[in-house]
Amino acid sequence: MAEALNSWVRVREMMPPGHVRTPSYLRGKRGQLERTLGPFHNPEKLAYGLEAEKLSLYRVRFSMAEVWGDAAENPDDTLDAEIYAHWLEPCDAP
Amino acid sequence: MGGQDAGQVPREGHDFALWEKRVDALMVLCSSKGYFTVDGLRRVLEDMGEESFETMTYYERWISSINQNMVEAGAYSLEELGTKMAEITARGETYGEASGG
């Protein structure tokens, strides 16, 4: 996964049952990497008492237009969410 | 919950009961002893489903989740848990009676 600041990423759309930290309302949405955090142990494995590898956590910035579409009251406002590396894939700018 | 519509958020604070403080302390104790982490706490809270958020209080959900995680971690068996619960129930209904056993 590209780690360059401001590069565009898309949140994977998968919906596995179980404990994940990726907000469902952001699945499939595109945002820009704001900063890199971590690495932290994978919470999806810690939650089941399993050994957990360390992953980068990214703070991703989404526009309200991307999150809410035409329903956005202030389309240029932004929302930051912290999302683990395996939920993100590089994409083109919208 | 999860971005769904909801009513007003209650803003007034409230005191916690002694048992609720004990549940909070139990979580710290269990995680510091390495039985499970807050990730496991959250996983079971989520698996309990939406209905539990309507029918159980915050710390009732916590103690259910802590117990589930402790059983999974092998800290005690269901037989040991059931025996202990029966023993404490037999002491009486109040804190005073229960702690005097």
Per residue in A19-43, pLDDT tens?
Answer: 999 999 999 999 999 999 999 999 9
A19–B2: do the CB atoms touch at under 8 Å? no
Is the pLDDT reported for residue B101 higher than 80?
Answer: no
d(CA B7, CA A78): 25
Q: Is residue A85 part of a domain?
A: yes
Q: Is residue A1 part of a domain?
A: no
CATH number reported for the structural domain that contains residue A27 in this entry = 2.30.30.50
Indicate the pLDDT class of residue A76, thresholds 50, 70 and 90.
Answer: very high
User: A68 — contact with chain B (CB < 8 Å)?
Assistant: no
Q: Is residue A59 part of a domain?
A: yes
Residue B98: per-residue pLDDT? 79
Which of A15, A19, A25, A67 to mutate to probe the B interface, most B CBs <10 Å? A19
Q: Is residue A75 part of a domain?
A: yes
Residue B4: per-residue pLDDT? 75
- Residue A78 near residue A63 (C-beta atoms within 8 A): yes
Domain count, chain A: 1
Model-level pTM? Answer: 0.81
Residue A2: per-residue pLDDT? 52
Q: Is residue A45 part of a domain?
A: yes
Identify which of B3, B42, B46 has the shortest CB distance to residue A25. B3
Cβ atoms within 10 Å of B98's Cβ, excluding its own? 13
Q: Is residue A33 part of a domain?
A: yes
d(CA A79, CA A25): 12
Q: Which residues contact A7 (CB under 8 A, 6 or more apart)?
A: A32, A33, A90
Write the pLDDT tens digit of every residue in B30-85: 999 999 999 999 999 999 998 999 999 999 999 999 999 999 999 999 989 999 99
User: A54 — contact with chain B (CB < 8 Å)?
Assistant: no
Alpha-helical (H) ranges within chain B are 18-32, 38-47, 50-55, 58-72, 78-89, 95-99
Q: Is residue A2 part of a domain?
A: no
**Domain boundaries of chain B, sorted by first residue:** 18-76
Chain A: closest CA distance from residue B49 (Å):
11
Structure tokens at A62: 């989404």
Indicate the pLDDT class of residue B8, thresholds 50, 70 and 90.
Answer: confident
Which residue range is the domain that position A38 belongs to? 8-13+22-90
Q: Is residue A43 part of a domain?
A: yes
